Each structure stands twice: as C-alpha cells, then as structure tokens.
Structure 1
Amino acid sequence: MENQYCKVGSVSSITNGSKELSFLEYQYQSFMDKATSNKHSDSKLAEFFELKAAKIQKIIQTLAN
C-alpha cells in the first residue's frame, strides 16, 4: 500500500475576488446570527461569536480598500 498525503489544516490565501468577499460576508453574518441567538442563554458563547465576527469584519474592510 502506498502512502497518501493530505493537506489537513492547509490554508489557502484569500484574494480580492467577489467570491471570497461574499463568503466572508456570509461568515460574518452567520457568526452575528449565532451571537444574537445565544445572547440570553450563553453569554460567553455569544461573546466568542462576536469576537469571531469582528475579526472577519476587519478582514472584509482590509479587502474592500
């Protein structure tokens, strides 16, 4: 049997394309929705989602410039 290698955890860079930007916007909205839905039940989890959304928002702003 031959060894097979896979790229687990590999990272591909995000270029300034519309597909990438729309994907990031989708992720941002998804994290904000999760933060809103968990605001009353689990504030720590909501805070985590808000921090993730803030990081994505910074990336979006960088790409938009």
Structure 2
Amino acid sequence: MENQYCKVGSVSPMTNVSKEISFLEHQYQSFMDKASSKKYSDSKLADFFELKAAKIQKIIETLTN
C-alpha cells in the first residue's frame, strides 16, 4: 500500500474578488444570525459568533478598499 497525503485545512485561493466578497458577506450574515439566536440562551457562544463576524467584516473592508 502506498502512502497518501492530504492537506487537511488547506486553503485554495479565490481568484474572483466579487465572488469572494459575496461569500464573506454570506458568512458574516450567518455568524450574526447565529449570535442573535444564542444571545439569551448562551451569551459566551453569542460573543464568539460576534467576534467571528467582526473578523470577517474587517476582511471585507480590506478587500473593498
């Protein structure tokens, strides 16, 4: 049997900036929705989702400037 290697967690670059921005906007909205749904039941998890959304928002701002 021959060794097989896979790149776990590897990232492939996106070449189309408009597609990348729309994907990031979707991810941002998804994290914000998750944060608002967990706000009263699990505030630490909601804070985590808001932090992830804030990081994505910074990336979006960087790409649009």
Per the TM superposition, whether the score is higher than 0.5 is yes
CA RMSD in angstroms comes to: 1.3
Q: Which residue of 2 aligns with 1:10?
A: 10
The 2-side partners of 1:19 and 1:59 are apart by: 14
**Offset at 1:25?**
0.3
- Check the 8 A contact 1:24/1:56 in 2, yes or no: yes
The number of residues matched between the two structures is 65
TM-score, length of structure 2 as denominator length: 0.91
Q: Which runs of 5+ in 2 are unaligned?
A: none
Q: Which residue of 2 aligns with 1:51?
A: 51
List structure 1 runs of 4+ shifted beyond 6 angstroms.
Answer: none
Q: Which runs of 5+ in 1 are unaligned?
A: none
Moved more, 12-21 or 26-35: 12-21
Q: Which residue of 2 aligns with 1:19?
A: 19
Letter in 2 for 1:12: S
Moved more, 41-50 or 11-20: 11-20
